[in-house]
Each structure stands twice: as structure tokens, then as C-alpha cells.
Amino acid sequence: MSRPDAPEPEWVRRKRLAAVFGDVLPDTTNDERDPDEAASEVGSDAWLRAQVPPHHG
């Protein structure tokens, strides 16, 4: 049984926040990734531009 005034352990806080918000931050930063890998991501602007119908310019 824990005391109500006891500080919450960091791992418990992270687990609780992950359950509510999910994992929103990537494990690596842009400078740690291969530039070619970033260009091939499905969520990139190049992929979005390729999906525009011809009549939209």
C-alpha cells in the first residue's frame, strides 16, 4: 500500500502517460537518422504530392 503523499516513481508516471497519450515522440532525432530513409517515409511531403490528382495541378 502506497502513501498518498509519496512521490510517484518515474517508470510508473511514464507508464501511466503512455497508456493515456501513447508514444508520441520518436526514439531517434532527425540528426541521428539516415537522410535517404527520411525521404522514403510514407508520411513525407513527396508522398503527399504524388497523391494529388492531375486536375489539381
Residue 33's alpha-carbon distances to 7, 30, 38, 47, in angstroms, are 36, 5, 7, 19
Residue 51 has pLDDT above 70, yes or no: yes
Distances in whole angstroms, Cα of residue 10 to Cα of each of 6, 17, 19: 12, 11, 14
The per-residue pLDDT for 18 is 85
Cβ–Cβ < 8 Å for 46, 39: yes
Q: What is the 3-state secondary structure (H, E, C) of 3-38?
A: CCCCCCCHHHHHHHHHHHHCCCCCCCCHHHCCHHHH
Q: Which residue has the higher pLDDT, 49 or 36?
A: 49
- Output the pTM of the full model: 0.33
